[in-house]
Structure 1
Amino acid sequence: ADIIKALKEHPEWLEELRKIILTTELIELPKKFEEMLERMKKLEKKVDKIEKDVEVLKQDVAILKQDVNYLKGEFGRIKGREFERTIRERYYAYFGKLLRKSKLIPFEEIIPLLDSAEDEKLITEEQRFSVLQLDLIVKGEIKVTKKEVYLAVEISYSLQEDDIEKAIERAGILAHIFKKEVIPVVVAVEIKEEIEKSAEEKGVLLIKTDF
């Protein structure tokens, strides 16, 4: 009780008493705790900034991927158009081993026949439109038999299964209209083994070229 009374009368002794009772580490602990809290706040700000930077980086990477995919698609389309143009301009060379007297049939000659066939209910509107999507129609004589035939040609740089199906379908429609043999043909550069086998099994003439 006397000690407490003395401390109340002399509060400056309290600090000295603390120094005696408490170690330096314990005395400085509140100050260190405050410093630690301050460092944690700064660290949280840095972490927040890093998280924001990472999010921005993710967005930039996503945009970059989109740009790369777009450029790949554009390059593929340009390559495909150039390939088709080359086949169209030099069709006689690509089909010369099969045909003699080969002739590229303009679609202007085909459209009236398609219109008449549709009017007479020989084909549907969808079938008419499908034939108009053909890449080439070539007429000629088979070299060996000299039989007159038409080629329904699909051109695809990288051959897909649906290219084969389209060639078969459109050749069938033309054969129905022309009352002549129409051979489904696909011309490609890149051909997977299983697709090549599929074309052979389905009776599609496959012409592989290095372009």
Structure 2
Amino acid sequence: MLQSRVLKSSEEIEKEAQKYPVLTFADILRALKEHPDWLEELRKIILTADLIELPQKINEILQRLERLEKKVDTLEQDLAVLKQDVEVLKQDVAILKQDVAILKQDVAILKQDVAILKQDVAFLKGEVGRLKGKDFERTIRERYYAYFGRLLRKTRLIPMEKILPRLEEAEEKGLISEEEFDDLLRLDLIVEGQIKSNKKPVILAVEVSYSLYEEDIQRAIRRANILAHLLQKEVIPTVICVETKEDFIKLAEDQGAFVLKTDY
């Protein structure tokens, strides 16, 4: 119904236009001014479909541009916020670097303190060990008969002062060296007695060590040999201790030394 009416209007426009003689371009303009409804019909004739749709497309483009502008504005705002966050992050990183530098200094100081503490602990351990050793040696010296009486009868402690003259004479005659002289003076105890099982007289060159190690065994053997050379008697290298390992006991037995492990 709408289509037939549009066609009719076109026919009417054509008939009306025939009434206006067109001689010049001015005649065309005057006819269009007097009949504005002819302009639409003229557009359909002159303009292509693309040109007719151009205003609508331009409008769509403008709408898209408007949306794009809004997105750009949003991005600019987000970028501004991001820049602020970056500045804050830079400040945080700077503070973190300072904290790390301070932490490194603190760690360096702590390492020094730990190193000093380790030295102190090692010193204290050494002092405690020496005190335990000294007290253990004093106890053995004072009660030698209680410790060695299980092995010997007629047990007697020989003080170093008794053999010192013979030791000095042996050094003067060149029978022992100066190093051997000094080494024997450091012997902890000299105990004399008879072995209970066969009543054989022996001398024990005793090293007293709270914790027994291999060097204690070697020291006892070395000093026993010096004493045996000096006295021309049988001397048994002996180590008395509280703590040791079975390996050290076996090592001492293999080398002819005697280990007496006791409570303290």
TM-score (norm 1): 0.83
Q: How far is the alpha carbon of 1:179 from its aligned partner? A: 1.4
2:204 maps to which residue?
A: 151
- Structure 1 pair 120/31, CA: closer, same or farther in 2 (3 Å)? same
Pairwise CA distance, 1:197 = 0.4
- Output aligned runs, 1:147-186, within 5 Å: 147-186=200-239
* Deviation (angstroms), 1:188: 0.7
Hey, what does 2:187 align to over in structure 1?
134
Trace 1:16-165 onto structure 2 (pairs within 5 A).
23-165=76-218
Deviates most, 74-83 or 144-153: 144-153
Q: Percent identity?
A: 55
| Higher RCO structure, 1 or 2 (CA under 8 Å, sep 6+) | 1
Shift of residue 152 of structure 1? 0.5
More helix per residue: 2
The residue number in structure 2 matching 1:194 is: 247
Task: Return the alpha-carbon distance in structure 1 between the equivalents of residues 139 and 126 of structure 2.
Answer: 20
Deviation at 1:20, TM superposition (A): 5.5
- Secondary structure of the 2:209 match is strand
Moved over 6 A (4+): none
Bigger share in strand: 1
TM superposition shift of 1:180 = 1.3
Pairwise mapping of residues 2-13 of structure 1 onto structure 2 (< 5 A)? none
The 3 A distance-change label for structure 1 pair 143 and 29 is closer
1:57 offset after TM fit, Å?
A: 2.4
Q: CA RMSD in A?
A: 2.0
Distance of 1:149 and 1:27 partners within structure 2: 100
Give distance in 1, aligned partners of 2:73 and 2:212. Answer: 90
- C-alpha separation in 1, matches of 2:74 and 2:225: 105
The change in CA–CA distance for 1:30 and 1:84 in structure 2 (over 3 A counts) is same
Find the aligned partners of 2:75 and 2:253 in 1 and give their Cα distance: 95
Q: 1:206: which partner in 2?
A: 259
Bigger CA drift: 148-157 or 33-42? 33-42
Q: Give the partner amino acid of 2:154.
A: K
- The CA deviation at 1:151 is 1.0
